Structures are given as structure tokens and as C-alpha cells.
Amino acid sequence: MEADEGLILNVSSLPSPESHHSAGRKRFRKPLPGKDKWQSKALKRKFQWADEGTPSKQKHKLSVSPIKKCTKEAAICVKGNLSSKSPPKKHSTDRQNESLSSRPFIKTSCLFKNNPEIPEIHRGGVKQVQEKVFTSDSFSQLDLHPHLVSTITTVLKMSSMTSVQKQTIPVLLKGKDALVRSQTGSGKTLAYGIPLVQSLQGMKSKIQRSDGPYALILVPTRELALQSFDTVQKLLKPFTWIVPGVLMGGEKRKSEKARLRKGINILISTPGRLVDHIKSTKCIHFHHLQWLIMDEADRILDMGFEKDVTVILNALNAESERRQNVLLSATLTEGVTRLADISLHDPVSIAIVDETWERTTPEQEAINSPARMEEDGFAIPEKLKQHVVVVPSKLRLVTLAAFILGKCKFEKRHKMIVFFSSCEQVEFHYKLLLKVLLGGQEAEETECLPLPSSHLKFLRLHGNMEQEERTAVFQEFLQCKTGILLCTDVAARGLDLPQVTWIVQYNAPASPAEYVHRIGRTARIGCHGNSLLVLTPSEAEYVNSLASHKINVSEMKMEDILSSLMKDDRFKGRRWGNKKSRGTNPQEVRERATVLQTEFENYVHSGEGTVRWAKKALQSFLRSYTTYPKTLKHIFHIKSLHLGHVAKSFGLRDAPQNLSASMAASPGKKTKLKPKRPDLRRKTQGKRRLAEILRSEYSSGMDSGVSKVKRKKRHGKPGNQKMLS
Ligand SMILES: Nc1ncnc2c1ncn2[C@@H]1O[C@H](COP(=O)(O)OP(=O)(O)OP(=O)(O)O)[C@@H](O)[C@H]1O
């Protein structure tokens, strides 16, 4: 069964915005008269050579030009027999016999046919909120210990303060609580790190290791915990008697206990892991605690850590009398007000907004609540160029591959992060791209590529990986100059990965805040960067949703992305033989895209295991699709998906009939799914379950119950040794 038809057979009851081509498909809606007849009909369709324009194409003149005519090489639409040169009739007959007798009946629908119209993207001319990154003030102007200043200038090699540092450091040095919002990559870590170290090194009675924590830094992910630890450790270089340490899950609990027993003065932790220790480690105490810092504060709430944070706050309140509290994020959303209420005492609100950026009314100037900040729009780094591409579902996979090839193979020095909405999708695309773009066994064995494509290096990061591998991948991507990291939102927050030039969001994020954090992995600290959001035609309205948060994206054309396939002769249709390709012949581009899609499908269908694995990834995509918040359901609704087309983007030729019982991918049946992406504001019974799922992705790692991806190779322990205090 062909993917196009799969929908009709499986989910015919669905109204599908992606299937504007209903007239074209109606032919198949008729009751199927019987297998033989169906086969001959399919064969007829399979071998019709030309002129099969769909009514929808005639109707929607604005649509991205689908193939108007399938030429002889339209055989490219036929699985496994690309561009045969035999005369159509003979070819048809031979194949017919072959199909009908020995081979399973397989065919690939034409990628460029029966796609929905691509709507025009109107740029709203939104004026984005701007922040000035650097100031001309130097760290030496602050009242800091001279050794701390020299560490900043010689070890960290920084001279002038960023805007957020200039505003935050003096406030914190005065002992005030603060609520800090500043754009991604603007230097918030040092904005709290410097005053923290300054205050602890100057304490009247010198800190002893055995005193335990004087400061607690809570962060949502393990990678961010490691990164913050690294920065704090550098700042502490001259003050060796102050000991930092990390608790982050995925590590042996026993060794963490031992380090706690020895004493950690600046404790950096994910909430889940800390709660574990509060409950089970006798030696943990907070008698001397002076500082509580919550970095990415809104994310800590979003991830269902609210209960954990309450447990932590209660433990701190019970043992320490007076402490200084700081909440920071690039996107302090409304939910943070609640956290601020319970954790901050008479805080100073710091939000960095360029003076040239006008608020609509002067009254707004005065108010700096998180809700106000969110309404005003999030600040996006000035040098970050944001793009969107609208791609019909069937073409998503080849477009992604073409984009990766275009940037990372045929242009120099690109480092790219691609975000997906689930661990299964990351794993699936990682293996698939590795196999098809790098080709073969060699790639799998070495997990990096043979010489000719040496610009391509794929890595992946998600919460179902073993911690050791997760840390190794993080370190590897941190250090490499080029590469493609496929990941979930586990890498969206706070990570400072230098020289990232492109962020691709293959699945749209669930909130504008998440969008801002994902793209914020590039264009950090005043550098240039680019982002690409991939949407289907039915999702195009998301651009307006972003615009309402003052986020401005410009359109990139799918055809332009696909045209980079012209540089890769591996995907050349046979009929072009040795002919030199000149420029970008649209027909040839489409044929190359089809060859590439066929390679994906061939690989996926090369065994039962690979098909199962693609279905699993598809299923997890559909599941995550059901979890967009209510406010976005009109854009991202499972019923808007054309299952057959979506299946193709997972290299599946058919729309699967047997996705597991719970899957609403037979969306005619209104089966409810367990959401992976939570609407945590609603206090439902499922909250606990959601929190567990999310923790498996982000936190403690001790009790997730989520199967771990087995490590193929044993990596060293980069970063781990640093954690030993
Ligand atoms: N004053 C400075 N001068 C030069 N570089 C700086 C300065 N302050 C911070 N940086 C560098 O800027 C980068 C981004 O800093 P940091 O990770 O603290 O940003 P952030 O605001 O916390 O970002 P996010 O919101 O994404 O977490 C880091 O590489 C850091 O070393």
C-alpha cells in the first residue's frame, strides 16, 4: 500500500488540512473492489508516465510547484527501480509480472505529488526586543578581591562586563535578592558566580570544607550542572579552601554520598537528585547555607520540579536562617511569579532592555513582573538570523538531510544542533542519517565518517542515554569545531556550546520560551548565528504565534534547501548519466530528492527491525504531537496530520496500520495519549507520571525506569574527574 493511500485506508475519518488534494485522492476512496483489481489499479498508477497533475495543483496556483509532469524518470516514483530507460510498455509488463509473482508489491509514491499547498508566510514587521550585550565597564571597577579580578581577566580572559553583569553584580554584592532576566548567552552565569565567590572568600570566619554547603545552585539539567560547576571552579582558583561539587543523577549515589560527607561548599545540583539526597543521605545539611541560586528558574517549574523545589526550600528554611536568593532565566514566564513569591525576599527585578527599544506606554516601563516581561516579548540576540521553512510532511526528511548536507558538507565550518521532540526520534534520525548520508558499515563502526565527507560528524544527546555517554557526547560537541548534534530539549537550556552556527528545530517547540532557549544555543555573547524552524503547511500559523511574542522569522524556500542536493552526485538520477548538471534544474533537484528518499526508505525497509524502529519513532512523534498546550492546539493537532505523508518522513512506505493501541494515530478513534510534554500548570492526577517522564529526561537518573540506550563503546570519563571535589 502506498503512503498516500494509507491515510485513506487507515484514518479516513479525519479531516486533514494537509490533504487539500482530496479531489486527487477521491479516486482511491471508492471501496476497494478486491485485491487483484486493486493491484492492477495500483500498477496502472505506478506506471503512468506523465501528465498526472492533481486537481489540487490546478486549483492552488500559489502552491509550491509540484511536479507537473512525471517524465520517464517518473519511474523514480517506483521503489527500487529508479529511472529505468526501458520503453514504458515493456517495462510495465515485465515489472507487473515480477511484482505479481515473486516480489512483494512495493512502490514509493512520488514525493512531489499530492502535497498540500504551501501558504505564504507574511512577515509581520515585528520589532524584536533588543539588548545590548556588552558595556564599556571593566570588572576592575567593581569592589572585588584583586585575585578574583585577575582570575576573570587571565583565566577567563574577559575584560568588560556584559549588561546583565553590570546590573546584577552590584545588587548581589549588596546582599539583595534578585530576579534576573536577560537574553540567552549574555553572561548570566558570571552575573551570579562573581558576587557569590566574592562573598564566600571574604567571610569573616574562613570557610572549612567540613562546614558543608554555603551556596546551592539549582539547574534543570545535568549538562548545565556540569557547565556551571566548571565556571564556578575557575572562579575559585585563587580560593582553594572553598570546595565546589556537583550532584546530578546518573552518577553513583554512593560516590556522591562520600563527597557530601567530605564536604561541598558550593553545591550544584538538579532538583530531583538533591531531593533524593535530602531524603536518603544523612550527612547532607544546610546549617551554613547563605545563597540559593536557581538558574533557568522557569524551566525548573515547567519540568514538574515544583514539588521537588518545595521539598528543597523546606529543608533549607528548616536549617538556615537568612540567605540570599536569586532566580535567573532568559525567559522568566508567568509561572515564575509563584516561585519568586515563595523563594525571594524583597527582590530587585533586573531586565536588560536596550534603551532604543520602545515600550508602548510609559506605565509599562515601571512594571517588571515576569508576566509583563513575557508580554513584552523575549529578547533575542541581535546577530541571530531566524528562518522558517514550510515543508509538506512527505518532504521533511529529505529537506532536513539536504539542509545538513548543504551546510555541513558543502559549506565550511558549520556546527549545527537539530532539535527533535522525543528521544526515539533522535535515535532514529541519528542512525538513519549516519547510515544514508555517511553510508554503510564503516560509518556505523566508527560512528564518524570516512574521509570524503569529513565535514559530517553526527552526535546525539537525549535523556535515555547512559550518563557516561551523555557527558562524553556533551564534551565532544563542546570541543569540536564542526558537527551535527541531534538532541531533545535536554540541550535547549543554558548550554554554552561555542561556535554553533545553526540551530534547526525539526519539531516546533511547545512554547515561545522554549523556542527562544533553543535558538539561544547560537549567537551567544554577541556572535553571529542562524536558526531554522521547520513547519508543515498546516503549522505555518505558528509564525504568527511567534510574532505575537515579538519574534521575527524570515522565510527560506524548501526548493532552495533541496537544491544543495545538486552538489551531491550520489543522488543523481540515472538518466542524467555523466551529463554535467548545470545550475539548479528544478526537475533534477526533485529527482535527486526522490533518490535520497528512496535510499532512506530502502534502508528502513531493509529488515523487520528497522521497520519496527521507524514505526516506534513515528509513534513517539505522534505522541509528542498530542501534547502541545491548548493555546497551540489549533495549529498542532494530531488530526491535522496526514498519516501516510508523515510516515514517509520516517522512511516508511506505508501508513502503519498497527501503531500501538494507545496511539491516536488511528486518529479516527479518539484514544487519549499519555503526554510527554506537560501542561504543568494543570494539577491533574497525571502530574506525577509526567514528572517521572520528564525526570528521566533531565534529572536524577536514579529511578527513571526508562530503558537506557546501551553504550556501544566505552568512552573515557571526560568531565567526570572534574566533579570530584
Ligand atoms: N564579560 C564577558 N566577556 C566575555 N565573555 C563573557 C563574559 N561573560 C560571559 N561570557 C561568556 O559568554 C558565554 C555565555 O555565558 P552564559 O552561559 O553565562 O550565558 P547565559 O546568559 O547564562 O545564557 P543562557 O541564558 O543560554 O543560559 C560564555 O561562554 C561565557 O564564558
Whole-model pTM over 0.90: no
Q: Which of 376, 309, 374 is nearest to 341 (CA)?
A: 309
Phi, psi values for residue 120, rounded to 5°: -75, 140
CB atoms within 10 A of CB 679: 17
Please give the average per-residue pLDDT across 498-507, as a whole number. Answer: 97
Tell me phi and psi for residue 461, to 5 degrees.
Answer: -145, 125
Residue 691: its pLDDT value, please?
40
Q: What is the pLDDT of residue 374?
A: 54
In whole angstroms, give the CA distance from residue 649 to residue 49: 24
Q: Is 181 in the pocket of ligand 1 (CB under 6 A)?
A: no
pLDDT at 581: 59
| Angle (CA) 545 546 551, round 5° | 150
The Cα 258–Cα 111 span in angstroms is 58
What ligand 1 atom has the least distance to the C-alpha of 189? 18
* More confidently predicted of 185 and 79: 185
Whole-number Å distance, alpha carbon 185 to ligand 1 midpoint, is 5
CB contact set of 369 (below 8 Å; sequence gap of 6+): 337, 349
Q: Which residues sit opposite 324 in a β-bridge?
A: 291
Q: SS3 string of 173-189?
A: HCCCCEEEECCCCCCHH
Strongest mean pLDDT among 163-172, 306-315, 546-555, 588-597:
163-172
Which residues does 667 contact at the CB level (< 8 Å), separation at least 6? 11, 14, 638, 639, 641, 643
Centroid of ligand 1 to alpha carbon of 518 (angstroms) = 15
pLDDT at 370: 53
pLDDT digits (tens, 9 = 90+) for 402-428: 999 999 999 878 999 999 999 999 999
For the ranges 573-577, 655-659, 706-710, the one whose mean pLDDT is highest: 655-659
Question: In a 3-state reduction of DSSP, which class is residue 82?
Answer: coil
pLDDT at 571: 81
C-alpha cell at 323: 540567605
3-state secondary structure of 280: helix
φ, ψ (nearest 5 deg) of residue 11:
-130, 45
What pLDDT was estimated at residue 130?
Answer: 80
- Which residue's entry shows cell 531586565? 351
Q: Is 330 in the pocket of ligand 1 (CB under 6 A)?
A: yes
- 81/47 Cα distance (integer angstroms): 11
How many other β-carbons are positioned within 10 Å of the β-carbon of residue 712? Answer: 10
Ligand 1 centre and the CA of 496: distance in Å?
7
Residues 6+ apart with CB under 8 A from 633: none
State the Cα–Cα distance between residues 578 and 569, nearest whole angstrom.
10
Distance CA 636, CA 649 (A): 17
622-672 pLDDT per residue, tens: 999 999 999 999 999 999 999 999 999 999 998 888 665 344 433 444 333
Residue 253's pLDDT is what? 85
Supply the pLDDT for residue 534: 98
What is the average pLDDT value for the chain, to the nearest integer? Answer: 76
Cα 89 to Cα 47, 78, 85: the distances in Å are: 9, 15, 11
What percent of the chain has pLDDT above 90? 56
- Residue 109's nearest CA partner among 25, 201, 34, 166 is 25
Per DSSP, 581 falls in state P
Model confidence over 582-612: pLDDT tens digits? Answer: 667 888 999 999 999 999 999 999 999 999 9
| Residue 186 beta carbon below 6 angstroms from any ligand 1 atom | yes
Strand, helix or coil for residue 129:
strand
Q: Ligand 1 center to residue 254 CA distance, Å?
A: 33
- Among the listed ranges 65-79, 121-135, 428-442, 529-543, which one has the minimum average pLDDT value? 65-79
Amino acid identity of residue 515, one-letter, is Y
Tens-digit pLDDT profile for residues 270-299: 999 999 999 999 999 999 999 999 999 988
Residue 571: name the closest of 553, 550, 589, 547 by CA: 589
What pLDDT does residue 573 have? Answer: 67
Q: Helix, strand, coil: what percent of the chain each, to 5?
A: 45, 10, 45
DSSP labels, 585-649: -HHHHHHHHHHHHHHHHHHHTTSHHHHHHHHHHHHHHHHHHTTS-GGGTTTS-GGG--HHHHHHT
For residue 525, the CA-to-ligand 1 centroid distance in Å is: 6
Q: Which tens digits make up the pLDDT trace of 56-105?
A: 333 333 222 333 333 333 333 333 333 333 333 334 334 434 333 333 33
Sheet of 324-329, strand order? 244-247, 266-269, 215-218, 291-295, 324-329, 178-181, 348-351
d(Cα 453, Cα 432) in Å, to the nearest integer? 16
Q: Residue 619: what pLDDT?
A: 95
pLDDT of residue 578: 62
Residue nearest to atom 25 of ligand 1 (CA): 184
Distance 333 CA to ligand 1 centre (A): 21
Q: What is the pLDDT of residue 611?
A: 95
Distance (Å, whole) CA 236 – CA 229: 10
The torsion region of residue 240 among left (phi > 0), alpha (psi -120 to 50) and beta comes to: alpha
Q: Which of 165, 183, 496 to mutate to test the pocket of ligand 1 (most atoms within 8 A of CB)?
A: 496
Mean pLDDT of the region 163-185: 97
- Quick check: CB of 520 below 6 Å from ligand 1? yes
Q: Are strands 160-162 and 134-138 parallel, antiparallel or unpaired?
A: antiparallel
What's the gap between Cα 614 and its chain centre? Answer: 19
Mean pLDDT of all residues in 133-149: 96
Position 454 scores a pLDDT of 52
Provide the pLDDT confidence category of residue 124 given band limits of 50, 70 and 90: low
Atom of ligand 1 nearest to the CA of 231: 31
pLDDT tens for each residue of 72-84: 333 333 333 333 3
Residue bearing cell 538513519: 432
Whether the CB-CB separation of 307 and 276 falls below 8 Å is answered with: no
Residue 134 pLDDT level (bands cut at 50, 70, 90)? very high
Cα 410 from Cα 545, distance rounded (Å): 33
- Given a cut of 70, whether residue 19 has pLDDT beyond it is no
For residues 456 and 625, which has the higher predicted lDDT (pLDDT)? Answer: 625
Q: What is the mean pLDDT of residues 523-532?
A: 96
Atom 1, ligand 1: residue with shortest CA distance:
161
Give the mean model confidence (pLDDT) for residues 689-715.
40
